């Protein structure tokens, strides 16, 4: 569906023909990032991403949680991250990745 370079590595997004349904969630696509140079990865999932429309309110509600705010300044889709353990993260964005791809296409970035 879409491929782009993000922070020096290729990221591929595959839109599923039919979403995967899990409890009350729909998984509409799979993101496949290339490994970062000079990093080793455990085989399997690296992170999961969730859409949270109001990240500031989410941070306020979860004020005792230690989030990584490093990518909150991104123009198109700010990111809040939570390191679960050495290998896994949960990332929160205000926009779904498929909406980001559409917006980037409109802006001529893809």
pLDDT digits (tens, 9 = 90+) for 77-94: 999 999 998 888 999 999
**Domain span holding position 61:** 2-106
Q: pTM (2 decimals)?
A: 0.81
Average pLDDT of the chain, as a whole number: 88
The count of structural domains within the chain is: 1
* pLDDT recorded at residue 110: 72
Pairing status of strand 9-22 against strand 2-6? antiparallel
Cα–Cα dist 85/87, whole Å = 6
Cα–Cα dist 98/106, whole Å = 13
**Where residue 41 sits, what CATH number does that domain have?**
3.10.180.10
């Amino acid at each position: 569906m879409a491929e782009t370079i993000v922070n020096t590595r290729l990221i591929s997004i595959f839109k599923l023909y039919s979403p995967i349904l899990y409890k009350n969630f729909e998984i509409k696509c799979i993101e496949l990032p290339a490994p970062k140079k000079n990093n080793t990865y455990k085989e399997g999932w690296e992170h999961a991403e969730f859409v949270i429309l109001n990240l500031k309110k989410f941070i306020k509600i979860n004020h005792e949680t230690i989030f990584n705010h490093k990518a909150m300044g991104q123009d198109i889709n700010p990111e809040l991250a939570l390191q679960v353990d050495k290998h896994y993260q949960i990332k929160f964005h205000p926009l779904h990745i498929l909406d980001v791809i559409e917006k980037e296409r409109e802006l001529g970035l893809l």
